[in-house]
Structure 1
């Protein structure tokens, strides 16, 4: 496959990450509309994000393991097809159980897709551009925050929210046809044994690094999953203004994801992750005071977005550097645990807003991100000790 065709294929793979990300996060912006139509509370509706994240984690970890020996092109195309079916079910859903089922289907297929697509991108790229290819697919997921979620939220102000999933389905059909034509066949690989995978997790540097993933994204999702009801109750923002706030957040999330790659190359994972987490914590605590002002929300969201997603590529770089020979497995764990963190964040957020005022979400989220800072600093400490340990002849 020539270079230009490979680059085009990688872009298509990134578009797949975009649509799966849009389906995952768009619910955050239309939570109140779903709650009203389905006759459930906001906290119950928020579990649509919880179940998606759990299903995504299952797909990213267990379905990847179960299908590892099969032709990767077939698995990727089957994953996309299943994702399309899930979106059609969401469009046709007339009750909460049916909508919940659609989220399970979309989540499992989306999780399988993102891991296979990331691996595909790495194999299609030249050795010197493997990192850039992986980053492109990840950026597709981040761009869903920039355009997918705000546009979906905005459209929900004018059309029935069901049509958002219909649009995603038809867009993904075009993507499926493109990838069918472009993707070369890649044979499956021998899966790592359970013992080999356990040995990876037993490395305390990797374990604490993965705990950072859970607590970091938990803190982020705690606020993000309930951002629409939060802003409507504090700053009195309409759904249109909420979509603009999400656009600001997503734009700076995109900037952060690109800056994170540059920063980790220039300053290393230790400084990049540490600084970005500190800024993330500060932004969440400040949001407690700025959430009552439209301008304050926009400014805080800008800082929050860039800090949060600067962490992502830097943390993935760090985890891969710990186990370069098992990078796909480590990234699979990271993707799965990231979505478990999202699941925990949306579930805990539902409990918090049921028993505590919703205005407390941001500072509570800040405490979880602070926990992630402790985990990653301990991981860096362990890694430094191993690196500096003198070797014996």
Structure 2
């Protein structure tokens, strides 16, 4: 693996820590700002909406910039947003600061995935994407639990200072370790959204949307979903998030190697089925600490394990459009996060917190149906591509034989 991918993963670690740490300190934020947990949960939604909307917009606006400049600017804006979150006192202004932090993430993450693909040969794309995604999953194993612990022992504002510090360190790593990479082709926003007219792309993104909405419906309110197992103790919640994150790192890296070997369909469908079953029984497993640990291990490994084959599938549909397709997938992930915060808040008015897993499972299995539908459309294209490749090889062989004669 090209070691130049590592700085990209460091930036993803900072972005990932911010994405996941707020869920672990929601009770502290709500109490400090004198708002309900459901209202505090909209801090997650504000970040996610900004990320989702601005990803294709900023990709179009920055397409003529060098990739290192894009990555550096994204991290700088992300850091500034987190500093604002740490120092502001008004809830409305804090919501706005989360929008700014989300904008930074929207600039950085799609560019990081696209650069990773550019740095390696086609047969290593799955592993390169897995390394970048391991930065995100590593944040769940280390950054988010650490931030949760800091927030529970000290102050949630201290947690946001930790996230801002990670942003500064990642910016320095990108500036000093990543080589200069030329700008990509300049495309308008309409051109960047044009792949959405392709049913294969649309259904693949629908898979991301449905599965991630199901997963984040639980994660957004993880502090109360697992309240029976943690007894409200912040250090126990931090431990559970660390378990989940460690499994995510393993599942993420394993998915990269497995996808390169077996293709995206098998890895993707197995991961979705297993995590769907896990969520269906979450109302039972979240009652006890030992069962919760097992549930989170499965969730982390399979929930994160489906992201790499999803990206690989998109790139395989149109390799020349990899940066655009990956930015659309990144935007879709955060559309899912935004929807899940609102969906979870609504469901909490109807069911008990520990029952959110069942609601998530319905969405996850709907994503499996979308995945298979996408495969049925992609399969004829792959067959045609194989036939074209065989034809080209045959023509080249015949030409060589004629020259020898």
Please indicate, yes or no, whether the TM-score normalized by the shorter chain is above 0.5: yes
Within the candidate set 101, 105, 110, 2:96 is matched to 101
- 1:92-128 per-residue CA deviation (whole Å, 9 max, x = no partner) reads 0212112212211111111111122223333444666
Alignment of 1:346 onto 2:346: no
CA RMSD in angstroms, aligned pairs only: 2.3
Alignment of 1:224 onto 2:219: yes
Within the candidate set 297, 320, 325, 1:330 is matched to 325
Which has the larger Rg? 2
Instruction: For 1:325 and 1:20, locate their aligned partners in 2 and report how far apart those are by CA, in whole Å.
Output: 26
Instruction: For 1:96 and 1:13, locate their aligned partners in 2 and report how far apart those are by CA, in whole Å.
Output: 32
CA contact (8 A) 2:71 2:174 kept: no
Q: How does 1:83-94 map to 2 (within 5 A)?
A: 83-94=78-89
Instruction: For 1:201 and 1:314, locate their aligned partners in 2 and report how far apart those are by CA, in whole Å.
Output: 19
Alignment of 1:312 onto 2:307: yes
Match of 2:159 in 1: 164
Q: How does 1:100-139 map to 2 (within 5 A)?
A: 100-125=95-120, 129-139=124-134
CA contact (8 A) 2:225 2:354 kept: yes
- 1:289-331 per-residue CA deviation (whole Å, 9 max, x = no partner) reads 1111111111111111111111111111111111112111111
| Of 94-103 and 122-131, the range deviating more from structure 2 | 122-131
Instruction: For 1:138 and 1:130, locate their aligned partners in 2 and report how far apart those are by CA, in whole Å.
Output: 12
- 1:231-287 per-residue CA deviation (whole Å, 9 max, x = no partner) reads 225652411111111111111111111111122223222211111111011000111
Match of 1:74 in 2: 69
Task: Classify the secondary structure of the residue corresponding to 2:86.
Answer: helix
Instruction: For 2:345 and 2:105, locate their aligned partners in 1 and report how far apart those are by CA, in whole Å.
Output: 24
Instruction: For 1:363 and 1:167, locate their aligned partners in 2 and report how far apart those are by CA, in whole Å.
Output: 34
CA contact (8 A) 2:60 2:188 kept: no
Within the candidate set 354, 364, 381, 2:376 is matched to 381
Instruction: For 1:179 and 1:266, locate their aligned partners in 2 and report how far apart those are by CA, in whole Å.
Output: 30
Instruction: For 2:138 and 2:206, locate their aligned partners in 1 and report how far apart those are by CA, in whole Å.
Output: 25
Task: Classify the secondary structure of the residue corresponding to 1:354.
Answer: coil
> Normalized against structure 1, the TM-score is what?
0.92
Within the candidate set 287, 291, 295, 1:292 is matched to 287
| Of 338-347 and 186-195, the range deviating more from structure 2 | 186-195
Instruction: Label 1:95 to 1:254 Cα distance change in 2 as closer, same or farther (>3 A).
Output: same
Instruction: For 2:190 and 2:172, locate their aligned partners in 1 and report how far apart those are by CA, in whole Å.
Output: 39
Match of 1:36 in 2: 31
> Normalized against structure 2, the TM-score is what?
0.90
Instruction: For 2:169 and 2:376, locate their aligned partners in 1 and report how far apart those are by CA, in whole Å.
Output: 48
Instruction: For 1:318 and 1:241, locate their aligned partners in 2 and report how far apart those are by CA, in whole Å.
Output: 37
Instruction: For 2:89 and 2:383, locate their aligned partners in 1 and report how far apart those are by CA, in whole Å.
Output: 60
CA contact (8 A) 1:60 1:115 kept: yes
Match of 2:46 in 1: 51
- 1:60-99 per-residue CA deviation (whole Å, 9 max, x = no partner) reads 2211111111233222222221111111111102121122
Instruction: Label 1:272 to 1:144 Cα distance change in 2 as closer, same or farther (>3 A).
Output: same
CA contact (8 A) 2:127 2:253 kept: no
Match of 2:177 in 1: 182
CA contact (8 A) 1:237 1:294 kept: no
Q: CA offset at residue 139 of structure 1?
A: 1.1
Alignment of 1:25 onto 2:13: no
Unaligned runs of at least 5 residues, structure 2: 392-405
Within the candidate set 234, 245, 260, 1:265 is matched to 260
Tell me how many residue pairs correspond in the alignment.
388
Instruction: For 1:123 and 1:321, locate their aligned partners in 2 and report how far apart those are by CA, in whole Å.
Output: 14
Instruction: For 2:314 and 2:85, locate their aligned partners in 1 and report how far apart those are by CA, in whole Å.
Output: 35
Instruction: For 1:383 and 1:87, locate their aligned partners in 2 and report how far apart those are by CA, in whole Å.
Output: 41
Q: CA offset at residue 129 of structure 1?
A: 4.6
Q: How does 1:217-256 map to 2 (within 5 A)?
A: 217-233=212-228, 236-256=231-251
Instruction: For 2:193 and 2:152, locate their aligned partners in 1 and report how far apart those are by CA, in whole Å.
Output: 48
- 1:155-195 per-residue CA deviation (whole Å, 9 max, x = no partner) reads 22211110111122223223323332333333322233456
CA contact (8 A) 1:234 1:359 kept: no
